[in-house]
Structure 1
Amino acid sequence: MAIWQSFIGGILPYVSLAVLVVGLATKIILLFQAPVNLHWELFPYPRTLGRQLGELLTEVFTLRSLYNYNRKLWLPSLTMHYGIYLVFFWFVFLLLGAPFALYLGLAGGCLAVIGSGAIFLLRAWTPELRQISTPVEYFNLLLVFLVAFTALTGGVVSDWAFRTYLISLFTLQPRLPLPGSYLIFLLVFQFFLVYLPFTRMAHFAVKYFTYHKVKWGEME
């Protein structure tokens, strides 16, 4: 057990984070260097920085495109995304020691479980969605579900003790041993981090290219 504790709780966090950063950076660099095969200017489109940021934030926080073109998936997708946003804020405020951080984590975990589970079922049971759904999309949804589910059931998002462990990682002195429920969550989450850069789920890192290089890319 000591070996598993050291490997999952003391080594894999740094390895998975390194793979995530290098993987996302590589994807961004390759996309930045790649030529645009087809310019797809949409008119009118925002030309000022303020309006462009407004357009991006509107899409991020409302999923307007999904609402307009695939409304069946819009509400569960919005639920899942807001769950992910709340978990991100949970992480930040947990490190800062904010007392309301645990509420953010619990709410975010629940929304992520509900949203990812609902999308999975919709894709599996709705004929028109099942026809356009690939196995990897089901796997991605299942992975998001498992990350959120193990965080909730393992007490990760509702226990201040997890903050102590996170801080110990930043000081390069992982505090071990960890409860078994923590190890299960960490193993699932670390696999998610390693897997993320090589999937469509990394779209959050390439929004710039979607809008500025394709939708708003003017011919030179």
Structure 2
Amino acid sequence: MTAALYLLIYACALVFLAGCVARALSYARMPLHLRWELYPVPHEEPERVPHGGSYFEEPEWWAKPLHFNLLGELKVMIPEMLFLKALWEFNRPLWFRSFAFHFGLYLLIATAVLLAIAAMVCWLAPASAAVLAALHSLYKVTGLLGAVLALAGAAALLVRRVRDRTLRIYTAPGDLMNLAWFIVALGLLLAAHLTRTAPAPSTLELVRGLLSFDTGLELPTLQVAAVILSALLVAYIPWTHMSHFIGKYFTYHSVRWDDLPAAKARQLQRKIAQYLSYRPTWSAAHVMADGRRSWAEIAMLNPARQEVKK
């Protein structure tokens, strides 16, 4: 039974990684998106950001090297990733629910990392009692706080989706199922942890057993159910719209912030040339996309004059 549980956890982890890679590749291979070209962008030079400037202000900018401000991007990305800054600014009532859920998940991820480190310390330096004690204190706090926050946030988001008339329009059955799955999985994890008795292995012992494939551990039914449901949830996430953490990267870097001039990017030039050769067949008459003209030809036409000729 324990061996099967370990295999399931490893399989779910592989499915999660495969899903994340597949999702990222699918976004990366998509056609060029229409850029926002709204300034400032965070990677602009710092002195231009306050007034919304860009490299277009430079005389003969096309002949000068571009400067990428990584620190400027990080100043925007980190608060957005950790604290959902945009949601705080534009939809504060939803922020309280969403932040609790997402930050709780971050704490649970940190807990998993701390547990893995603690398991490695047990093997490599079993005499390091002080290090193990510090790690134990850390993952105990992050684990409990993360589970409570994520559970409360998921429940609050579920209630909001059910009760809010406006949000209900955009709520699919899958959205409710996803949140319910989180609530049940997190609830079982908390219950298994809080009701654990002495014979049952601790969380650290379970992680050590998983990493060493120790099949001698005997897990109670509640703990097994919690682990199975959580592992399946992890494997499920990247194959749904809950993988928006991947899509968000491409939305910011390929749509909102991408201002690379085509003159300085040969691959970009090739893609644009390829797209201009397409022959669209749109039904909108004003576009004049009848399947005979390419985008390059359509771009040189004046719809108003074409109407006059008719």
Residue of structure 2 aligned with 1:45, choices 28, 41, 45: 41
Displacement after TM superposition at 1:96 (Å):
2.9
1:126 and 2:122 equivalent? no
Cα deviation digits, residues 122-173 of structure 1 (max 9, x gap): 1111211212222221112112222211110111898972212212222244
Query: What SS does structure 2 have at the residue aligned with 1:75?
Result: helix
TM-score by length of 1: 0.89
Residue of structure 2 aligned with 1:105, choices 140, 143, 159: 143
The aligned counterpart of 2:286 is: none
Runs of 4+ in 1 over 3 A off after TM superposition: 156-160, 172-176
Displacement after TM superposition at 1:61 (Å):
2.1
Q: Indicate if the aligned counterparts of 1:76 and 1:115 stay in contact, CA closer than 8 A.
A: yes
The aligned counterpart of 1:87 is: 108
Q: Indicate if the aligned counterparts of 2:8 and 2:231 stay in contact, CA closer than 8 A.
A: yes
Q: Indicate if the aligned counterparts of 2:209 and 2:217 stay in contact, CA closer than 8 A.
A: no
TM-score by length of 2: 0.65
Taking the aligned partners of 2:106 and 2:146, their CA distance within structure 1 comes to 7
The total of aligned residue pairs comes to 216
Q: 1:70 to 1:132 in 2, by over 3 A?
A: farther
Cα deviation digits, residues 93-142 of structure 1 (max 9, x gap): 22333121112111111111111101100111121121222222111211
Q: Cα RMSD between the aligned structures?
A: 2.1
1:194 and 2:215 equivalent? no
Taking the aligned partners of 2:194 and 2:18, their CA distance within structure 1 comes to 26
Query: What SS does structure 2 have at the residue aligned with 1:41?
Result: coil
Q: Indicate if the aligned counterparts of 1:105 and 1:157 stay in contact, CA closer than 8 A.
A: no
Tell which deviates more after alignment, 135-144 or 169-178.
169-178
1:148 and 2:169 equivalent? no
The aligned counterpart of 1:66 is: 87
Instruction: Give the aligned residue type for 1:186.
Output: V
Q: 1:162 to 1:128 in 2, by over 3 A?
A: same
Q: Indicate if the aligned counterparts of 1:81 and 1:112 stay in contact, CA closer than 8 A.
A: yes
Taking the aligned partners of 2:203 and 2:216, their CA distance within structure 1 comes to 10
Q: Indicate if the aligned counterparts of 1:102 and 1:157 stay in contact, CA closer than 8 A.
A: no
Displacement after TM superposition at 1:89 (Å):
1.5
The aligned counterpart of 1:139 is: 177
1:164 and 2:160 equivalent? no
Larger Rg: 2
Instruction: Give the aligned residue type for 1:176.
Output: L
Question: Which ranges in structure 2 are unaligned for 5 or more consecutive residues?
Answer: 44-68, 119-134, 263-310
The aligned counterpart of 1:209 is: 250
Taking the aligned partners of 1:175 and 1:51, their CA distance within structure 2 comes to 51
Q: 1:122 to 1:96 in 2, by over 3 A?
A: same
Aligned-pair identity in percent equals: 27
Quick one: higher RCO (CA 8 Å, sep 6+), 1 or 2?
Answer: 1
Greater helix proportion: 1
The aligned counterpart of 2:285 is: none
1:35 and 2:73 equivalent? no
